[in-house]
Structure 1
Amino acid sequence: MFTLHTLKLKAVMPLAGALLMAASVISCRDDDNTDLETVTEAEAADAIEAAVTTDSNGVAQMAAGATAVAEDEAVYTNSPLINCGQLYTENHNATGAGVTYSYDYSGTHTYQLTCSAQGFAESFAYTYDMDGTYETARMYSDDNATANVAITGLAAGIPDALINGSYVRNGYQESKVRQMRHFNSLITINLDDVVVNKTSRQITGGTASVSMTGTGSAGNTFSYNGTITFNGNQSATLVINGTTYNINL
């Protein structure tokens, strides 16, 4: 009886070990699959960069477009071509293409000039709502972009304008690098005294806070927060969780 019991125990133990190892392998595979579907910080940085750069019709292009409208309406002079307090709405298209990028957006933009009691221009409100796509070397997106900003520093003779407000991008992205993940995201960028040169229409300074939330292809959620510093010379710095990413505007 002792010998038979010992033999049965020896037979059961290898079987239990094999089942444990199989369960472990399956668990690891499940974890690996989950990891593969998780949008990483680096991928979030790519999407945020695309929401900022000119090549993807991001914040830099929005700032250039808003200041161009202000200039066209002579807002930077003592004799603006638009009436104080009147709301103007127009169709707005933005398309561009280069060796490594393309974008195609359409929608409307709205603007309004606020004046002092003496009739001097004080603030230029600019909003837009755009739908379209962009593609860069690292990312493809089908999304909606909205901007709601105010431009100050309108007086003639001042070289720079200041932009404050929000820029939001909401839609679908496909990464073209690393694991080539695809996901849906909401990117919100809050602009704080962003400096735009009235002549070049380029961002030369200021900061922004950014948040990005979304859902991966497996239904898992993600969230990232960071800060953007506009350095001038067509560059910006994005910091997420202490990691720095350089952006060419």
Structure 2
Amino acid sequence: MKITKSLLIGLITLNMIIVSTSCSTNDDNLITPETEELSEDEAVELIESSLQKSTGGLNDNAKSFSENLITDITINEDCSVIYNDTFVINYEESVIQASYTVDWSYEMTCNNFGVPESVVFSSSTDGNYSTQHIVSNDNSMSYFEITGLQPSAETMVLNGNYERIGMQELTVINTRTVTSNLTVDLTNIVIAKNSSSITSGTATLTLAGTSQNASFSFEGSLVFNGDETATLTINENTYVINIG
């Protein structure tokens, strides 16, 4: 059969279209999805690092202020006076490094005899930290109401909330950039005066944000164990996390 020039050109063009379509289909199968949700394991590690004392987290906030408060109860005779302070904290450990500027404000309430009974405390931090799997630039805000300041009480009780907002680079499973907002509502957190450490109490929390064009939200609960750890429950899964 004689093949004309126009027919030959048509066959070549059709073959090129088929090959091009086939390659395009194969390439699509190789493209990594642009959206990938944050895993529960990654969320747990981010929550843990946000609460730790050594990252300038919630535990550092509560412990540092408690130590300062116990000193003020002894030397300060002025009640219903607002006290303000600004300072820098730096941590240098084998795995964790952190640097934060801290602003805090508080006011003590006393009984009719001038004995401190309670305090309202607020604070904000701005800085950064790095751990084995996380590098973070963030800021936090706290609001605490603390009772049990009387000298006869061996413990103080803290109620309030804590929020930490920022941007992190995570290498827990895959390398990813995350914007996150952690909010924690604290209930009856007991702090020992002799150590300024949290010995018991509970909290509810929400971690929300975005990662690789995908939004995420995790809700959980915390039980403070009294040994610089807390038990975190998310989706009925429990994790013992380090907050020291």
Aligned equivalent of 1:81? 76
Post-superposition shift, 1:228?
Answer: 0.7
Q: Is 1:244 matched with 2:243?
A: no
Which of 184, 191, 208 is the equivalent residue of 2:186? 191
Which of 206, 220, 228 is the equivalent residue of 1:226? 220
Distance 2:45 2:22 in 1: 40
Aligned equivalent of 2:47? 48
Post-superposition shift, 1:148?
Answer: 0.8
Aligned equivalent of 1:143? 138
Aligned equivalent of 2:124? 129
Aligned equivalent of 2:35? 34
Counterpart amino acid of 1:54?
Answer: K
**Preserved CA contact (<8 Å) 1:82 1:113:** no
Distance 1:107 1:53 in 2: 16
Distance 1:71 1:151 in 2: 12
Secondary structure of the residue that 2:132 maps to in structure 1?
A: coil
Counterpart amino acid of 2:28?
Answer: I
Moved over 4 A (4+): 18-25, 27-30
Residue segments in structure 1 that go unaligned for 5+ positions in a row: 1-14
Aligned equivalent of 1:71? 70
Secondary structure of the residue that 1:51 maps to in structure 2?
A: helix
**Preserved CA contact (<8 Å) 1:114 1:121:** yes
Change (3 A) 1:230 1:24: farther
**Preserved CA contact (<8 Å) 2:34 2:213:** no
Post-superposition shift, 1:67?
Answer: 0.5
**Preserved CA contact (<8 Å) 2:137 2:166:** yes
Distance 2:180 2:156 in 1: 31
Secondary structure of the residue that 2:35 maps to in structure 1?
A: helix
Post-superposition shift, 1:185?
Answer: 0.5
TM-score under structure 2 normalisation? 0.85
Select between 167-176 and 116-125 the one with higher mean Cα deviation.
116-125
Aligned equivalent of 1:97? 92
Counterpart amino acid of 1:158?
Answer: A
Q: Is 1:235 matched with 2:229?
A: yes
Change (3 A) 1:72 1:26: same
**Preserved CA contact (<8 Å) 2:86 2:104:** yes
**Preserved CA contact (<8 Å) 2:35 2:213:** no
Aligned equivalent of 1:6? none
Change (3 A) 1:243 1:154: same
Residue segments in structure 2 that go unaligned for 5+ positions in a row: 1-16
Select between 118-127 and 225-234 the one with higher mean Cα deviation.
118-127
Distance 2:149 2:239 in 1: 32
Secondary structure of the residue that 1:232 maps to in structure 2?
A: coil
Distance 2:218 2:124 in 1: 24
Counterpart amino acid of 1:182?
Answer: T
In the alignment of these two chains, the number of paired residues is: 227
**Preserved CA contact (<8 Å) 1:39 1:181:** no
Aligned equivalent of 1:8? none
Instruction: Give the alignment's Cα RMSD to 1 decimal.
Output: 2.3
Change (3 A) 1:246 1:25: farther
Identity %: 29
